[in-house]
Structures are given as C-alpha cells and as structure tokens.
Chain A
C-alpha cells in the first residue's frame, strides 16, 4: 500500500501503540496518519501530499517510522 511518490511505514509494535497513533495524527500536517481504535492507520490517498517535514519521524521512537521517497529510493528516518 503506497502512493505514487511516497510510502510511509510504521514498524510492527509501534503501529499498535495508541499513544503514538494519537501523536502521529496530531503532527502530520497533511493527515497521513489516523489513530483508529488505538492503532496507526495510514491514509493511502494522502500519501502523495507528504511535505517531507519529518515531524512524524521526530515524534516516533528511533527507527519506527520511515518515510520512503519512491522516486529516488531515499528515506527519511532516524
């Protein structure tokens, strides 16, 4: 499940952390994350709106959120 230009991955355990889900929903300026029933849900239709601000990467524990740029293979991560 990815957009044309951007993919966002939240790794296993972090994806079901309700606190993190709420935080991600709050920081992302283009509504890519939704806190649905305690788990992180990714709004696929919004992925290509990602502005590469890295706020999600900063808000999450090291290594749990990765933003991949599908057009050049690089990643935003921590």
Chain B
C-alpha cells in the first residue's frame, strides 16, 4: 500500500520522529489558513500518488497566506500523470543547515531489513551510493531480537558522522527502524532529513510503503491517520475489464481469477492459468506473433460461474473474436469445470464455442471428463503431449487465419 506524503508525515510523526509544523488542506481556503498559522514563507505541495510533482508544477513557494491560497487553488486543479490530487500539503520553508538520507528496507538476499543512512541527503541515494560509497552507512537488523539503539548508531557512524549530529540522527534512524518493523513497511524512507540551525533534526519528506498482505493487521493505525481503505491506490486507473473481473472474483470464494489489460491491445483473448503458467503462455503467444488482448490468471479451482465470468469479460473486449484457454498441467483446478465455464460463456454471448475457442490446452485433473465436454461442442483441444508453446502457436495461427481470411 502506498501512502500520500501527508499520510507518511503522520506515520513518521506518530513514531516520535520530529516533523515540520505542516498542514494538510483539501481546499484553497484551508491552505491559506494553514499558511497563516505557520507564518512566513511556505511550500505548497500537490498530494498525488505519483512522482514528478516538481516538474509538473505541483510544488510552489508562497511568501504570504494569500499567495498560498492562490497557489493551492491552481495545484488542486492540476492533474499529474492522470492523477487528481487529494489535497495539498502546506509546509514552512525551513532554514536548513544540512540534508541527510535515512531509510529502512528489505534486503531480500539477507532476508533481513537493512538500515541506510547518508549525510548526503536530498538527492538520489543510488547516485550517492555509486559516487560516494563511503558516505552511505548500512546495517542489517535481526527479525527476532529487539532493535537496539546502538545498531542505528553504528549505521550512522559508518557514513563518517560524529558529534551531536551523530547522536540526534541515530535516534531518528532507530525510530524509523522500529516503525518499519511495527508496521510491515516494505520501504520507510526520510529524504531529506534536515538538520536545522538549532541543531535539531526534522523529517522534511517521508515515503512509506506498507506490504499489502499486512494491511489487515494495521487497520487501527491506518484509521487513526485517516486512510480510506476503500480507495484503490493503483499505479494507474483500473480499466472496465479489470474492474469487472475483480468484481466477479470477489463475488464467489471458490478459486481465484485475475485479469489485466493495461498495456495490452491485441485481438487474442487469453483465459490462462496460474502465476507461472500465465507468464509462460503470454510469452509464448507474443513470441509467435500473437497479440494478446489481456493477461489473466486462473487458479485454485474456480467455479463454473467464475471461469464463465472471466471468459465473457475477455470476449466482450473490443476486437476480440477468439479466446485461447490454456494452462500448465493442473492438479487442483479441474479441466472439466473450466471447459464448462468457457463453453457457457460462448453460448451465453450467442457464439459458437468451436469457432470462438481457438485452442483449449489444459491437461491434468479430470482431463478425460473435460475432453468429453469439448468433443461434444467440437472445440479444438490438446493434451500434455502438446507443449504450451505449440498450443499458443496454434491459437495464434487460428486468429491470423481469420484476419487474412476476412481481408
């Protein structure tokens, strides 16, 4: 789960990490009031779940509450990369002595969280790591033992820091590490972390991402900071196809279906199965000149109704005349149940299954029963002796035959 900047700010604040005296506003008037309260020059920042705000004009500097209000009015109307802002963050323009970088994220290879700290903050950390490796301090954390303060101090000291800055920065990093663990963050990052003229540290910008699988156990915290759990927060706006498939999946607990069509513009509908099988089959279709209309995943032995629902949605897509129904050898999902589902989809749409299903290649559980159903409707099918690659090729050839035939 991704968070808006203002939500990340609240999360960091709750963890005891100092932040600026910021304000979150959903209207221009509120933004003006926040600027008034803060006093002095402010920064107005668009709240969107996408990068590139600065370039798009979503960040502005205001000298007065009036200007803050005017800037906020414009930013609230400004779409960035297709995203409409949910509000603006009003921040005091801080007097900064130095910028730092602090983060805690997963190191998949070590299977442990890793702390990162740098005294060169505000810029891209990858660039710092490449050009000034001695300015990046690192430290792994145990998953089992309590996080000790000295571990954070070591990581900060490893980037060459000392003095009171070391102690103050270490306290921030230790809190960030505990926050990452307590709230299942896949990324907990403060960039920049600023040292002000009085020597204190404040988080100027924070970026948090919570693991989707863990959202359920953090509802109280999410509620407290005002997160709307029904908001989709996708990287892009889901299409009608994607929304419909999701609704069909949610309506019935038997089995799992997923469908995506973002980035797919082809004419061959795919009703394909399981994570690995779906990836393999999509490659096989594309490598043989096929143009998939969608991506799909079927798993966990879905009901007839669910398989039918997915097939109908795929067949309803513009330009899709045929579907390929393919999976790697199944041991849980049943061949006959999927066969019933896809044939029913054709019949309900008034289409001939024999014409509409370019190929049916699902070997495995209940295959003999499935083949009897496919025989009855004259659907072309194959068993495990025909590879996934060959089956995909046959589907592509049938669609291409149609295309040349109709020209």
A: which residues have CB within 8 A of B? Answer: 4-5, 30, 48-49, 51-52, 69, 71-72
Q: Mark B367-407, 1 if CB is under 8 A from A, else 0.
A: 00100110111000000000000000000000000000000
**Contact A72:B376 (CB < 8 A) given known A49-B304, A51-B337, A52-B369:** yes
Chain A residues near B334: list those with CB within 8 A.
51
Of B303, B347, B373, the contact of A71 (CB 8 Å cutoff): B373
Q: Mark B155-183, 1 if CB is under 8 A from A, else 0.
A: 00000000000000000000000000000
Interface hub of B304, B337, B344, B377 (most chain A Cβ within 10 A) = B304
Q: Once bound together, how far apart are the Cα atoms of A30 and B343, in whole Å?
A: 20
Interface hub of A4, A52, A69, A71 (most chain B Cβ within 10 A) = A71
**Chain B, interface SS category:** helix
Chain B residues near A5: list those with CB within 8 A.
340, 373
Q: Once bound together, how far apart are the Cα atoms of A26 and B362, in whole Å?
A: 32
Whether B304 and A48, one on each chain, are in contact in the complex, defined by CB atoms closer than 8 angstroms, is: yes
| Interface assignment of B305: CB less than 8 Å from any CB of chain A | yes
Of A4, A49, A69, the contact of B343 (CB 8 Å cutoff): A4
Chain B residues near A51: list those with CB within 8 A.
334, 337
Known: A4-B344, A51-B334. 9 other contacts (CB 8 A): A4-B343, A5-B340, A5-B373, A48-B304, A49-B304, A51-B337, A52-B369, A71-B372, A71-B377
Chain A residues near B373: list those with CB within 8 A.
5, 71-72
Q: Once bound together, how far apart are the Cα atoms of A30 and B344, in whole Å?
A: 18
B: which residues have CB within 8 A of A? Answer: 303-305, 334, 336-337, 340, 343-344, 347, 369, 372-373, 375-377
Whether A4 and B340, one on each chain, are in contact in the complex, defined by CB atoms closer than 8 angstroms, is: yes
Whether A49 and B305, one on each chain, are in contact in the complex, defined by CB atoms closer than 8 angstroms, is: yes
Q: Once bound together, how far apart are the Cα atoms of A10 and B224, in whole Å?
A: 57
Q: Once bound together, how far apart are the Cα atoms of A49 and B377, in whole Å?
A: 18
Chain B residues near A30: list those with CB within 8 A.
303
Q: Once bound together, how far apart are the Cα atoms of A30 and B306, in whole Å?
A: 13
Whether A71 and B376, one on each chain, are in contact in the complex, defined by CB atoms closer than 8 angstroms, is: yes
11 A-B pairs whose Cβ atoms sit less than 8 Å apart in the complex: A4-B343, A4-B344, A5-B340, A30-B303, A48-B344, A49-B305, A69-B372, A71-B373, A71-B376, A72-B373, A72-B376
Q: Once bound together, how far apart are the Cα atoms of A51 and B303, in whole Å?
A: 9
Which residue of the partner chain B has the closest CB to A50?
Answer: B304
Q: Once bound together, how far apart are the Cα atoms of A18 and B222, in whole Å?
A: 51
Q: Once bound together, how far apart are the Cα atoms of A74 and B405, in whole Å?
A: 39
Chain A residues near B303: list those with CB within 8 A.
30, 49
Chain B residues near A48: list those with CB within 8 A.
304, 340, 344
A47 to chain B, nearest CB (A): 10
B187 to chain A, nearest CB (A): 43
Q: Once bound together, how far apart are the Cα atoms of A30 and B373, in whole Å?
A: 20
B334 to chain A, nearest CB (A): 8
Q: Once bound together, how far apart are the Cα atoms of A54 and B340, in whole Å?
A: 18
B377 to chain A, nearest CB (A): 8
